[in-house]
Amino acid sequence: MLIKFSGQTIDKFYIPSFILTKGDIIIIQLPNGPYFRPVELKMIDMLTGKQHNDLIEINTPLKYVAHIEEKSFWHRLFPMTVGGYLSKYANKSNPVCNTIYNTKWITPKTKIQTLAGNPRRQLSLYATLSWTDKIIFDLAGVDPQGGQQIYDFVKTVVQSGGSAILFDHTDEFKDDCTRFIKAKYLG
């Protein structure tokens, strides 16, 4: 058992109990709209161990696949490249971080600001998976085909001993996961 989550209410949404073990993919369906992200961020803080909660038992904290953001003025003058991002955020000794280069047009000198949602999300995913195979991720900013590719890749990682929690607002992968949990609005 990696995580034991006891059912609780977070921002007027009841999240049922679940247990995450090695080899599991759990999908937590949150409502679409303005409530999705705040509830997701609170859950991420709890499941990664950043925020203590007595109703959650964490034996192995998960790592969140963060979105790539370039907000500073510095990045406008000197845009970050794929190679620079991997040097800064990935474990270079793990070959999974170089999986992004399987896309023909992406090279170490490709500027991140030129990447659309799918390859940008994949880059962040591969960098995170180079450190751990126990992750939390979402598919925000990704089209349906990219979402399927990312989910299939995560599924292969989970089958080889990893674990994952996906926050989503659809039930697209409902029949292709270990457990599907739907948040209930309590109003």
Structural domain total, the chain? 2
Summarised one tens digit per residue, pLDDT across range 37-69 is 888 899 999 999 898 888 899 998 899 999 888
If asked whether residues 140 and 117 sit together in one domain, one would say no
Say if 69 falls within a structural domain: no
3-state secondary structure of 47: helix
If asked whether residues 97 and 152 sit together in one domain, one would say no
Distance CA 117, CA 123 (A): 10
If asked whether residues 85 and 123 sit together in one domain, one would say yes
Tokens of 104: 């023909």
If asked whether residues 124 and 96 sit together in one domain, one would say yes
CATH of the domain at 17: 3.40.50.300
pTM of the predicted structure, to 2 decimals: 0.90
If asked whether residues 141 and 118 sit together in one domain, one would say no
Quote the domain boundaries for residue 102: 77-131
Say if 104 falls within a structural domain: yes
Say if 81 falls within a structural domain: yes
3-state secondary structure of 9: strand
Within 45-133, strands assigned E span 56-58, 63-64
- pLDDT category of residue 75 using cuts at 50, 70 and 90: low
CB burial of residue 110 (10 Å; 0-12, 13-18, 19+):
buried
**pLDDT averaged over every residue in the chain:** 89
Instruction: Tell me if 1 sits within 8 A of 176, measured CB to CB.
Output: no
